[in-house]
Amino acid sequence: MFENQPLDFLKHLNPEQYRAVTAGEGPILVLAGPGSGKTRVLTQRIAYLVKAMGVRPHHILAVTFTNKAAREMQHRLETLLGEQSQSIWLGTFHAVCARILRREAAYLPFDQNFVIMDADDQIALVRQALKALNLDEKLYRPAGIHATISMAKNNLITPEEFTPRTYRDEVVKRVYQQYQTFLRNNNAVDFDDLLIETVRLFRENPPVLERYAGRFEHVLVDEFQDTNLVQYELLKLLTSVHQNVFVVGDEDQSIYRWRGADYRNVLRFESEFPDVQKILLQQNYRSTQTVLDAAQGVINRNHQRTPKRLFSDRGRGEPIVLYEAVDEFAEATFVVDTIRQWIESGKARGSDFAVMYRTNAQSRLLEEAFLRAGIPYHLVGAQRFYGRREVKDVIAFLRLAQNPDDEISLLRVINVPPRGIGEKSLVALQLLARETHQSPGHLLLELGEKGHDSPYWARFPGRSAMLLADFGGLLANWQRARDTLSLIELFDRILADVGYEAYINDGSEEGQDRWENVQELRRLAFEYRERGLSAFLEDLALVSDQDTLPQDQNAPTLLTLHAAKGLEFPQVFIIGLDEGLLPHSRSRDDPEEMAEERRLFYVGLTRAKDRVYLVRALRRSAYGVAVEQEPSRFLADIDERLLQRQGYRRTRSSATTWAAERSPSSRVPPSPAHAAILQPRYRPGQRVRHPAWGEGMVVDSRIQEDGEETVDVFFESVGFKRVIASIARLEAINPD
């Protein structure tokens, strides 16, 4: 039925791609360098399985890491396979697992209407757990506690198996146990549960595993280097029958270690599948050779990797600009001025540019510079559409209509708009729920249905029972309407029942904007008119920042290096190339962390098609004090012949030269002759005091070529700092 179909698409593959697409059965590892066409290889491999090898589409599972990547693959497969593509199981790890769990709910500790707690809900649930355990969230930060719980789940460690090594670990274990209890009481799962519960389902129910592993004759995985332990275990289980697993990845682009990703899964794959076919994709279709040579100079210093030689047919291209600014203000000014000149010349559009940085905090000065220049920009990682108050309110109402046991959503909207249900009523509702082993939502349904006839009516003083019953009645109506109305009709019914438009839109510009956001959510809901409420809520819970990146916005993009993965731009700026920023100071004493910082810089470089600007600052402010910066060690790995140096720089004769740029805090340096007669004011071993950092000891002091004295001090409060003596306001404690 499927064999001997036209294979015209194979004509456009290079030799390495052709070998990967047409490989036979068994385990196949494709190490795909950046811009080497891995999405093409994945999609055409699927088309080849169907058209040339006769594999039925519903026997194929393809797993990606983002919804954006899944949509792109689906679109390409529709072009290659037409309607046959609809039968392929294609989606993110989390979406595929959610689909399996809903189908196999009979084996699980929650039912098929479970809700998926988004990132904000998960933190809220940790806060509830801390409160239930009488723990101070100022001492035990919810985000940090949740990160530890998530890491444990990613390593398949349950609350019972979590082994404390410190007192904080003891606290985490207790919170983890309470957190899981709250999830189950809410008929809910978090992102990590989607994976770990699927692994547990397969391990504890061999017939279920056999059904899925038997069905999926071929499993294909994108971004394999970003898999964690639980995802790797999931893949082994799903491929346990046929052993036909096709993974595409690049250990050089593994940058998510902090959330459990382990590039060593590539090495494990090679050792656990000794008959694996290993194919390298080294031809780059994105960048110039100069960009690739610079990136390879950086990444070749890492170990535990397969060496690659990236090459491009796009020619040498422009040299990489290395700009050294006087300070962080001049750094931001250079970036914005350069972009403005390109746009005003008509040779580039705003959307051609990306400005990347290591930490979100670095965006502030950039944003201010763009605002001063009157240039619009798009900030990735700012408050997402789905994180806005009014959007989260409506989603919470819809989640309650699907799952009244969802206590997080209930607490969010039970008094939205205000209906007189106070804190005492909520506490009484929660206590009664715990006492009767029910969810607060279930109690509300009973109050709404039975009113005064409910045995719980008398447990609420004054008007509380009536107010709670009114909301319970609404909830019961939505429950019934869920099965009879379309998603849009249910959406409109809920908003009308609670009077949400009048509540959110007071006629002001902000109110109108908020109501527009609700209408935008409604437009999105309309696209799910056939798939329904469950699919709508599931996709919203699994959306990522990249999934909300505007496609046609003609403005420069500001984003972290982590968020840049999978994107590309004609011109890329990477700022903050100073020791302590990139690489980050946290990586200084950890070789694995340092290797990941190097991979992060490599990913940033290889996002560029035509031009790269590397930008650093000689000085940065810290608590009002200008601190001298050391250039990033990664810059030394780039061949000098690839660079065009600009800004403040030192020539080979060691004389100091300055570019035309000046910042408000810059000064003309003294001549080298004047600097030569200066002597350091501070000496090693001397005790000093700083107005912000307190007491410390001088480690070293020296006169720079610009005549400034720089002092290395170890402060008891903040550790090692390098400061400029003339403006650091250091006070000698034991002068002599």
Strands annotated E in 588-677 = 608-622, 625-628, 643-647, 649-650, 656-657
CA-nearest of 637, 730, 630, 716 to 682 is 730
Q: Quick check: is 222 catalytic? A: yes
* Per-residue tokens: 460: 């609420």
Q: Is 34 annotated as a binding residue?
A: yes
Separation between Cα atoms, residue 295 and residue 71, nearest integer Å:
29
Q: Which is catalytic among the residues 38, 153, 358, 482? A: 38
Q: Is 387 annotated as a binding residue?
A: no
Q: Which is catalytic among the residues 253, 402, 557, 560? A: 253
Q: Which is catalytic among the residues 222, 406, 407, 596? A: 222
Q: Distance of CA 22 to CAs 7, 13, 627, Å?
A: 11, 11, 57
Please compute, for residue 235, the number of CA atoms within 13 A of its CA located in the half-sphere on the CB side: 28
Other beta carbons within 10 angstroms of residue 516's beta carbon come to 12
Q: Is 36 annotated as a binding residue?
A: yes
Q: Quick check: is 83 catalytic? A: no
Q: Which is catalytic among the residues 223, 251, 597, 706? A: 223
Q: Is 20 annotated as a binding residue?
A: no
Q: Quick check: is 304 catalytic? A: no
Separation between Cα atoms, residue 728 and residue 624, nearest integer Å:
8
Q: Quick check: is 153 catalytic? A: no
Q: Is 37 annotated as a binding residue?
A: yes
Phi then psi for 14, rounded to 5 degrees?
-80, 170
**Three-state DSSP class for 172?**
helix
Separation between Cα atoms, residue 317 and residue 289, nearest integer Å:
7
Q: Is 39 annotated as a binding residue?
A: yes
Other beta carbons within 10 angstroms of residue 297's beta carbon come to 17
Q: What residues are paired with 723 via a beta bridge?
A: 711
Separation between Cα atoms, residue 723 and residue 19, nearest integer Å:
57
Q: Which is catalytic among the residues 76, 174, 565, 607? A: 607
Query: Is 566:559 a contact under the CB 8 Å cutoff?
Result: no
Separation between Cα atoms, residue 412 and residue 392, nearest integer Å:
9
Host H or E run for residue 32: strand 28-32
Separation between Cα atoms, residue 292 and residue 77, nearest integer Å:
30
Q: Which is catalytic among the residues 39, 177, 282, 479? A: 39
**Three-state DSSP class for 91?**
strand
Determine how β-strand 709-715 pairs with β-strand 719-724.
antiparallel
Host H or E run for residue 117: none
CA-nearest of 561, 564, 563, 566 to 581 is 561
> Which residues participate in catalysis according to the annotation?
38-39, 222-223, 253, 607
Binding-site sequence positions for ATP:
32-39
Binding-site sequence positions:
32-39
